[in-house]
Amino acid sequence: MNVKHAETSVAATLTEQVLERLETTPDPRVKYIMQSLVAHLHDFVRKVNLSEEEWAQGIDFLTRTGQMCNERRQEFILLSDTLGISMLVDAINHQRGGAATENTVFGPFHVEGSPQLPYGADIRFGVEGELTFVHGKVLSADGQPVAHAQMEVWQVRPDRLYDVQDAQAPHMQLRATFHTREDGSYAFWTVKPVSYPIPADGPVGDMLNACGRHPWRPAHIHFRIRADGYQTLVTHLFAAGDAWLQSDAVFGVKDSLIVAFNPGTAIHPDTHETAALEVEYDFVLAPQMS
């Protein structure tokens, strides 16, 4: 057999050999996932006719992605987000339909244990920007108020950084935990969110560059809402009119989550300033599946 023939026959049988080797996997779900992964990866390598140099580049890319991860930075989640995997996993796992508010990406900037604040509190903690009053209700799918729901909110500062990206920042800024009142209502004071680039100084940034893609996310406020008997809702409210709504770097925008920041009329209870902007939005929780 000449060398060319030997290579061809290895390539032809290798996938079967690896799949066969995985037959001993005791857990059926792990076996299914591993065999499917190998089959797809081998198909991919064949389809693009991967060169040795490209293979080495891929290994280097994944190595750098791992090395970039620490307790403040999760480059693998960023990779998943920018390839649309995070939104796909979310879509498969949260097919709510009906009136329920849609999910979107969690993102890497949530912090556990944000300050517990009362209805109508101010989350600016020294941050300057366009004063904005956000309010509404948390409801069930049949329109009933959900009392005592836990609502966590977090957002980027007007300098386009989250507090956790700034080592000099006070402990927490533009993040808090609220609980809805008996009538399901919530309210807080903040600044108008701004668009910002996702961290692009690592391998994911290199990938975006190589693909001629930008790193921008349209302005948004993050929410995580949890209540007994309901599915946890992880979502954002996006600012209508933002230039990046059509090309979010992480594919997180859904039309139902785009809201108007209208001129405000509410008066701040402590500073007596009038809100520059006001947002009203009711969140609808889907019932827990039994």
Which residues contact ligand BEZ by CB under 6 A?
Answer: 78, 81, 105, 107-109, 198, 217, 250
Binds 181: which of ligand BEZ, Fe ion, none (CB < 5-8 Å by kind): none
Min CB(105)–ligand BEZ separation in Å? 5
Closest alpha carbon to 108 in 265, 234, 5, 238: 234
Min CB(100)–ligand BEZ separation in Å? 21
Min CB(74)–ligand BEZ separation in Å? 9
Of 78 and 194, the one with the shorter C-beta distance to ligand BEZ is 78
**Dihedral, CA of residue 221, residue 227, residue 232 and residue 235, to nearest 10:** -10
Binds 108: which of ligand BEZ, Fe ion, none (CB < 5-8 Å by kind): ligand BEZ
Phi first, then psi: give them for residue 37, nearest 5 degrees.
Answer: -60, -50
- Cα separation, 268 vs 230, in Å, equals 32
17 in helix, strand or coil?
helix
Phi first, then psi: give them for residue 180, nearest 5 degrees.
Answer: -70, 155
Binds 105: which of Fe ion, ligand BEZ, none (CB < 5-8 Å by kind): ligand BEZ
Please compute, for residue 44, the number of CA atoms within 13 A of its CA located in the half-sphere on the CB side: 9
- Among residue numbers 66 through 125, which ones bind Fe ion (CB under 5 A)? 107
Binds 250: which of Fe ion, ligand BEZ, none (CB < 5-8 Å by kind): ligand BEZ
Residues forming the site for Fe ion (CB under 5 A) = 107
